Amino acid sequence: MTTPARDDQPPEVTSTLLAELLQSIDEGRPVAMVTVVKAGGNYAAALGRRALVWLDREPSGSLNLDDLEAQVLADATQALIQRRPQMLAYADEQVELFVEVQRRPPTLIIVGAGHVAQPLATLGKLIDFEVVVIDDRPQYANTERFPQADRVIAAPFRPTLRDWPIDADTFIVLVTRGHSHDVECLLEVLDSPARYIGMIGSKRRVRAVFDLLEQEQGIPREKFDRVYAPVGIDIGAESPAEIGVCIIAEVVNVYRGGRAESLSDALRADRHLPLHPTRVQNYG
């Protein structure tokens, strides 16, 4: 018979886990606490055990689950990536665990530090996103131009995105200065768990990027359906600030599950649909 969950971990281990959990929360790092809430049979000794999992480091603590341990921690990491608390069951439901996910604010990664990026960063902070700006030009990617951003990174696009812990609370907007940068960025993020990927550009530029990736990288065309390109909600935006508004509106629409139609969806439905005739396309 299974008894209710209890704290069956040594006090010093519990204290260490609590300290690590609080530190992660204070730092805004996504973390999940895994607790064994039911354990029977050969796993009875695991009842009450706890562990912490992160996206960017090894787990802390032991669940005392022997052959199930690795699978449980992997499943708990997936729950963290998905940002959803979950109950996990194993061994014909002899073992049950609760994964408590500590969310952090969603992250808006602005790739490119040109004219559109500045109002976009300001708007991102206004809606309480963590804002990160990336550009390989230090004269553009600096805190003087982006005082409101949480992080401004002057480094090559592709390796920076490759090393970033992208998860389901990550929103990526590509506003680079050229389609060659769009290509290398999409290669890194297209298969990521990012909640949103948007790319600025004219219909011609977007088509050129997708064609190149399909022909030279063998990427199936249907994979591009997740990319919001041309980016934004069509409000007839012309200036960099207006374009920032139309992009952030689409970000909010995706984040909150709104019903506004994205420009990219409208263009997929009607390829002949013209963009706003006076819109400036290449502010990246």
Hey, what are 198's tokens?
Answer: 């948007």
Q: Kindly give the confidence (pLDDT) of every residue in the chain, 284 residues in length, as a single tens digit, with 9 standing for 90 and above.
A: 344 445 566 676 788 999 999 998 888 788 999 999 999 999 999 999 999 999 888 999 999 999 999 999 999 999 988 878 999 999 999 999 999 998 778 999 999 999 999 999 999 999 999 999 999 999 999 999 999 999 999 999 999 999 998 988 899 999 999 889 999 999 999 999 999 999 998 888 999 999 999 999 999 999 999 999 999 998 989 899 999 999 999 999 999 889 999 988 888 776 666 665 444 444 44
Calculate ∠ Cα 54-57-59, nearest 5°.
65
Cα(263)–Cα(36) distance, integer angstroms: 47
Are 61 and 128 contacting, i.e. CB atoms less than 8 angstroms apart? no
**Same domain, yes or no, for 260 and 143?**
yes
**Same domain, yes or no, for 76 and 167?**
no
The residue from 72, 102, 132 where one domain ends is 102
**Same domain, yes or no, for 125 and 255?**
yes
Calculate ∠ Cα 198-199-200, nearest 5°.
125
**Same domain, yes or no, for 198 and 84?**
no
**Same domain, yes or no, for 154 and 114?**
yes
* Domain at 237, CATH number: 3.40.50.720
The residue from 102, 119, 135 where one domain ends is 102
Selection from 249, 88, 143 nearest residue 133 by Cα: 143
pLDDT of residue 267: 80
**Same domain, yes or no, for 111 and 66?**
no
What is residue 91's three-state secondary structure? Answer: coil
pTM metric for this prediction: 0.69
Return the bridge partners of 88, or none: 97
**Same domain, yes or no, for 142 and 232?**
yes
Q: Is residue 126 part of a domain?
A: yes
Give the domain extent around 240.
107-269
pLDDT of residue 74: 96
**Same domain, yes or no, for 142 and 258?**
yes
